[in-house]
Every structure is written in structure tokens, then in C-alpha cells.
Amino acid sequence: MSLERLNKLRETIRRHDRLYYVEARPEIGDADYDALYRELEALERAHPEWITPDSPTQRVGGAPLAAFRQVRHNPPMMSLDKTHSRDDLLDFDTFLRRQLPDEIWDYVVEPKVDGVAFSLLYEDGVLTRAATRGNGEVGDDITANIKTIRSIPLRLADAPPLLEVRGEVYMSRDGFAELNQREEEAGREPFMNPRNAAAGSLKQLDPREVARRPLDAMLYATGAIKGAVFPSHSGLLQRLADWGFRTPPWLRLCVDIQAVLTAIDELEALRHTFPFEIDGAVVKVNRRELYERLGSTAKSPRWARAFKYEPERAETRIWQITVQVGRTGVLTPVAELDPVLLAGSEIARATLHNADEIARKDIRVGDRVWVVKAGDVIPAIESVLTEKRTGEERVFSMPETCPECDSPVVRREDEVAHRCVNPACPAQRVGRLEHFASRDALDIRAIGGKVAEALVAQELVRDPLDLFSLTLPQLEAFRIGDEASGTRRFGKNAQTALDALDAARTLPLDRWLFATGIPGIGVTVAEQIAAAHARFSDLDASPILQAVVRLAELYAEAAAVNPRSTLNRPQNDEEREERQARFNRLCGEIGVTGDELVAAGVATKTPGSTLPPLYSSVIKTEAARSVLAYFASDYGQRYLARLRELGIDPQAKARLPVPADAPLAGVTFVLTGTLSQPRTQIAEQIKAAGGTVQDAVTKQTRYLVAGGNVGATKTNKARALGTTVIDEAGLLALLTGTATPSSAPAPETPRTAQKTADPPDTPYRQQELF
Ligand SMILES: [Zn+2]
């Protein structure tokens, strides 16, 4: 019975992984997914003998490796011949026609993802090995690392006995930007570009670290195969997609080489619309049966070519290097450039990341340089045109004191970043103040940007709570701007600011918790924590947050002492008994702690008699830890004391029961694009009318409210899921009751029908771009 449940759980989780990670159309929320996952984990804890390597729980597992095992590729992993020239492609076609005078064939053109080549081996449908290309003959066994990539299936349905799939591991532009921000904030060296970040991540010996990297994989080729034949390349891609692999999101079938050249131009025009970097196009003969006859050179197959696009870059001059101080005190050098046009926008500044980067590239003030868009978003200096140096260039060094507060700059031994560690640093104060006053925080609109800077510079505000001590005459007399460009009085904005501050005093707990700026506490997490507490002053010694942390610790301890653990088996009967007793005690404590959380409405218990019992908490352990640590710090204690003095103690939102006849009862919305009011306000109106607002479109979404600047991709995706797309006027009509909600979503457009559409007509499979 239990084994049946276990298999069912695995199958369900695999299906949801695919919906979420490959197809970007989740059907269940995170909490429901977590509950399934926890149930599976518990079943496997109770029955370690049932754990198989293809279980979803085995994606991140095992201890760090000492080194990678070597793997021999059979057949070898070749690379493609690369060219920048259209004439080369004409020659390629002429050569093929001479080799196969009696044959006809189509070409396939697909984007070349800028990633790291790798291979996956499936035996009887189960992923047994993943390897880097290495030198083509021998690569590294990176199975543990690859299993952490959720879009790669660990098991294939109806697979041949042996199947090797090849492709590219890559990092999306968004993932790259996020990772680099994390690296910089942690004082580590940022990655040069997404490919570099993907390669560096795969080299990690600890799979748990790899799991934290936003890696993805695209598959588009095969190696060894037994028991299956794929007559065409386009058919192979379709089969790979059916198995659940991510495949190239764009392709063209071309009848001749002229059509290939047109497709290559078309793809180049689209290259910036993909969420990942592409550095070229791949041209392949579609008929795979011709591959053997065409054969290969020592390094590359004769039936394919890679056409590389020129990187978009521009020449300009660095006239100055300035230094910015961030909210966390990190000093970032920035190149100030003579403005230049690059990939459609004017570039006047480029980040230099840190002193090491400047030294490595030998960048000097006054240098002529090549500017590129790294990840196609952030302008970066590619290289210096040293041959154009005049001798006037100046070597740059990081300031020894903070440009904002003059306190000494610190560089910790294990960090590449220089930091201002003065908590009173105005740059950091301005950052905290801006966050406090921002729209999703306390929405004090008169206090932002230049005003925040001026308030800090004139020492009217040191910490955000000082805002509440400001008086009307003080604010009216307050001047913004600098002497160079002229100053102006804050004037009538003073009353606006005071009114907003007055309103902020009674804003609900979730907004205040977010405004406080605790690491890791974003809008959603703040809402989850606020929902479980009555008032702000309950947070610092919250028994609920303490229980969330305690529960995680108990689970970890129970897993470690479980006498049935396969990783840590008892040495003898005595140890087994002792551990069993301790395990039983821990299971009891888990039950008590978990029940407390259930009573508080924070957790749910999975029915069943597993050991330990299974609880799934809405508040995540890391968030609970972060809030408790913040209020335990001196700064947090002073913050609480100051709030008490001010008589501010934000309350949780009163939850009024929604009447059953509310106009939007049970109707689900997603908001996107530029709307006439802040999104939070519109969401409040929808909630007040009984509706719910989600972050992303799922099958449950009835309406996508699309404001300005919304791409067709997004609305098409919504329509494909049966969601009705309306504008703000349409929403207003629903809210005021002049229109009534449509019935349940239309049946979903079958996804397979879209995917198998004839490539020449609908080659741009938009729904896969998310
Ligand atoms: Zn400073």
C-alpha cells in the first residue's frame, strides 16, 4: 500500500516538475508541491530500502566529491565547425551536393545557446550518467551536479534500452544577473558572462552548492543509441520534447541554402528576445540517415555548421572612473564613458565590478575600450585598445576611504569587494530610507531619490524612523538639490510627506515588516509572517517563528539518528536501540511542535502514520531565522524601542469574511504591465470584492489584467491556458458590477497540438520562452 503511494507520489512530482520547470505552466502552488515532496521524503525515511536514484528526492544528495571521475565518450563528442561567413555556408552546401548528387534534403536552422556542452546517458529510461565534453574523448562525470537541474528528467517513459542525449547547460540572463548580485553582495568575484557562470557552477564538487545556481539545460542531439531510430533531426527534437526535455525554442526547416541564409538573418534579429544568450545559429542536414554517409573530419561532423554572430560591441573612451556605495556598503567602480550607441540604446556608464577586474583587464582612465552588453543587459568593458594609448592614461586605484563618509574602506581576506563598514554611512542610510518609503513598503511618495539623499546629507534623518520626528516648519524650510544645479525648498511637499507619514502609522503589519528591510524578507514572505501574528511587537520573541526554526532542527536531527538511515548505518545492536529510542523521542517532539504550528494556522499536517509525522509550514525556516536574528541584534532592539516611543505598533490586517454574493467571489486574477494605480492597490480592490490575485498565470487563472507595455508572448501564453485577457477598463466593469465574470476557463488548448505544428509555419514556439 505504502509502496504504491510512494510510486504515485513520484509520478505526480515528476509531472509537476515538468509543468513548472520545462513548460512554465504550474498547476499547483508551492505549498501543495512542498506537501507532496515532504510526504515522499518521509516515506523514504521510513523505508530507506525503497530509495532509487531516479526519485525526485535524490536530485540534491550525497556528500561533496574529492574530484570528478573521468568518463570516456563513445562515440566521441565532436564540436561543430564554426564560421562567421555566409560564403562558407554556400561552400558547405556545394560540398554536400557533390558528396550526395542523387539525394535531396532540407536543412534545419536552430539557435546556438551559449552554454557548456554535456551529455546524458539513460539506461532503460533511467538517467545513469552525465558528463562534460572535456576534450571530446574523455570528460568529467558530473551526474550529481546535473541531477540538481530540475528541467532534466531523471526517468523517461517508453525510452529505448540505451539513449545518450547531448546538449548544452546554460544560465538565463535573469538567473545570471541574480547570481552575480548574490556573489557581489557576498564579496565574491562576479562571473564574466552567463556561460562562464554555468561552467563555473558545473565545476563545483558540492552538489548542494550547484543546486543553488540557476542552471538550465537544452537538449538537441544524440550520442549512443540502442533500440531506436530517429530518421530526421526535427523529428528527434519533437521526441525529446515529448520526453520532457527542454529543446530549442525556435527552429526553421529550410528547403535550400538560400532559405538557410534568410533564417539566419531572421534569428539574428530575434536574438535579444530569448531569455538566454545565443551566440549564433546551427545549420544541420535534417535527414539523419545521411549522416553516416557524410561522415566526419577528425573533429567535426560534415553535416552541420555553426554560424557565429558578431558580438555587438562599440568603441568609446573612459573619461572617468567613479565609485558607488550600495545599501550593503559594497564599493563598486563604474566607468564613465563618452556616450555611444550599442544594441539599440545609448551607453554612458559600465560597471567595472571590483578592483581585481580593473587590474586583470588593465583598465585606465582615458583608455579607448570595447564595450559589450554582457548577458545582453549590463554594459561591460570587453577589452582595452592598448594600441590607441597616448601615454596620458592614468592607473586607477580604489579609494582608501569611503567616497560617501570618509571612513576607512575594508577588504576582508576572503572577499574581492571593498566595503564601507560604517553603519552610519550616508549611502547606506539613503538606501535604507528609500526602501522604507518605497511603494510596497510604507509608500511615502514625497520621500524618494533626491529627497532621501538630501534628508540624510543634512542629517535630518539617520534611520528611517527619524522621519516621524520631523516637524512641518523643519520640512518646509528643508532644501533639495545642490549648489551647482540650484536648490529648491521642499515647500508644499512638506504637508504631503507628513500626511503620508501619518497614514503610515496605521498601515498593516505586513507592510511594516517589509519596510523594516530585514534580509530575505520580501513582500510575499512578509505577508505570510504577518498573517500569523497580531502585532509588530509580537515578532521579536514570536513563539511561532521559534517553533518553525525548532521544527526544521528536529527534522534534521531525526534524519541523522534514524537507525534505518542508509548513509549512516548503526554499527551494532546497542547503537541501533539507542538511536531508535532517540528517534522516537524526536518524532514525539516533532508532533508537539508541529501541532502548535497547525493550531496557529501556519502549518498543515499530512494525514498518515509516517515517522516522523509530516508538517508543511507556510513560513520558511530561513525567513523565520532571519526575522529572529534581526530583532535580536542591537540595531533591531533599538528599532523596536524607537517604535514603542513613537507609539507605533502595526496590527495585522483585519480579515473580514467575504460575503458569498461578492461580485468576484472565487474569481482568480493575475496583474501585469503598467497600470494606472499601484498593483497592490488594485489587488486590494479585487480582494475586497472576493477575488484572489496570483503572481503567475496558471490553469486556475480566470483573467489576466494586462496594462501597458505587455508583450504578446505573455498574453498568448495566458490565452493558451484558457485565461481571458482583459484591460483595466474590463476589470473596472467587473469590480463595479457592470459586467459579470465569464464562466470557468475554456478548455486548455492542447499543448501537443501547438508543439507539433509544422515548423515552417509556426516556428516560434512562444509558450516555451518563459
Ligand atoms: Zn561609507
CA of 402 to the centre of ligand 1 (A): 5
Specify the CATH class of 2-58 in words. Answer: mainly alpha
Q: Whole-angstrom Cα distance, residue 328 to residue 323?
A: 14
Of 90-99, 202-211, 306-315, 732-741, the range with the lowest mean pLDDT is 732-741
Q: How far does the centroid of ligand 1 lie from the alpha carbon of residue 510, in Å?
A: 30
Question: What confidence score (pLDDT) does residue 757 get?
Answer: 29
Q: What are phi and psi of 66, to 5 degrees?
A: -80, -35
Q: Residue 708: its pLDDT value, please?
A: 78
Residue 61 has pLDDT above 60, yes or no: yes
Instruction: Identify which has the larger pLDDT, 761 or 345.
Output: 345
Distance 423 CA to ligand 1 centre (A): 8
Cα dihedral: 569, 575, 576, 578 (round 10): -130
Q: In this structure, what are the phi and psi dihedrals at residue 569, rounded to the nearest 5 degrees? A: -75, 145
Mean pLDDT of 731-757: 55
176, 193 in Cβ contact below 8 A? yes
Q: Is the pLDDT of residue 759 over 70?
A: no
Q: Quote the ligand 1 centre to 431 CA distance (angstroms).
A: 12
Locate 459 and state its grid cell. 542629517
- Residues of the chain by 3-state class (helix, strand, coil), percent to 5: 40, 20, 40
112 has pLDDT over 80: yes
> What architecture is domain 70-176+192-308?
2-Layer Sandwich (3.30)
Q: Are 567 and 560 spatial neighbours (Cβ–Cβ below 8 Å)?
A: no
| Residues with a known catalytic role | 112
Task: Supply the DSSP string of 389-417, one letter for each residue.
Answer: --S--EE----SB-TTT-PBEE--TT-S-
Cell numbers standing for residue 147? 541531477
What pLDDT is attached to residue 763? 29
With a CB cutoff of 8 Å and minimum separation 6, the contacts of 712 are: 766
Tens of pLDDT, residue by residue over 228-241, are 999 999 999 999 99
| Gap between the Cα atoms of 345 and 580, Å rounded | 66
Question: What is the mean predicted confidence (pLDDT) over 460-473?
Answer: 92
Q: How many other C-beta atoms can be found within 10 angstroms of the C-beta atom of residue 161? A: 12
Low-confidence winner among 149-163, 196-210, 530-544, 684-698 (lowest mean pLDDT): 684-698
Q: What architecture is domain 426-505?
A: Orthogonal Bundle (1.10)
Q: Which grid coordinates belong to 372?
A: 559589450
Q: What phi and psi values does residue 261 have, to the nearest 5 degrees? A: -65, -40
Q: Are 61 and 67 in contact (CB under 8 A)?
A: no
Task: Calculate how far, in angstroms, residue 327's C-alpha sits from the geometric centre of ligand 1.
Answer: 10
C-alpha 540 to ligand 1 mean position (Å) = 29
Residue that wins the pLDDT comparison between 415 and 667: 667
Residues counted in the chain: 770
Say yes or no: domain 313-420 is CATH 2.40.50.140. Answer: yes
Ligand 1 centroid – CA 401 distance (Å): 8
Q: How is residue 174 written as a grid cell?
A: 535573469
CA 432 to centroid of ligand 1, rounded, Å: 13
Which tens digit of pLDDT belongs to each residue from 635-656? 889 999 999 999 999 998 865 5
Q: Give all strands (DSSP E) within 352-473, no chain letters.
A: 364-365, 368-374, 378-384, 394-395, 409-410, 418-420
Q: How far is the CA of 331 from the centre of ligand 1 (A)?
A: 9
What number of helices (H) and strands (E) belong to the chain?
Answer: 25, 28
CATH for the 668-769 domain, from 3.40.50.10190, 3.40.710.10, 3.40.50.11810, 3.90.1150.10: 3.40.50.10190
Contact indicator for 589, 554 with CB cutoff of 8 Å: yes
What band does 745 get if pLDDT is binned at 50, 70 and 90? very low
What average pLDDT does the segment 318-329 reach?
88
CA 399–ligand 1 middle distance (angstroms): 11
Please check the confidence at residue 477 and state whether its pLDDT lies above 50: yes
β-partners of residue 335 are 321, 350
| Domain spans, the chain | 2-58, 70-176+192-308, 313-420, 426-505, 523-646, 668-769
Q: Are 306 and 117 in contact (CB under 8 A)?
A: no
Residue type present at position 220 = Y
Distance 422 CA to ligand 1 centre (A): 6
Q: Higher confidence at residue 14 or residue 421? A: 14
pLDDT band at 187 (very low <50, low <70, confident <90, very high): low
Q: What is the pLDDT of residue 659?
A: 62
Q: Is the CB of residue 583 less than 8 Å from the CB of residue 561?
A: yes
For 158, the grid coordinates are 517508453
472: CA distance to ligand 1 center in Å? 30
How far apart are the CA of 180 and the centre of ligand 1, in A?
22
CA-CA distance, 626 to 632, in Å (whole number)? 10
What is the DSSP secondary structure assignment for residue 764, as one 8-state letter? Answer: B
C-alpha cell at 679: 498593483
Query: Mean pLDDT, the chain, as a whole number?
Result: 86
* Ligand 1 centroid – CA 439 distance (Å): 26
Question: Is it the case that residue 364 has pLDDT exceeding 80?
Answer: yes
End-to-end CA distance of the chain: 39
Cis peptide before 194 (omega within 30 of 0): no
- Ligand 1 centroid vs 518 CA: distance in angstroms? 20
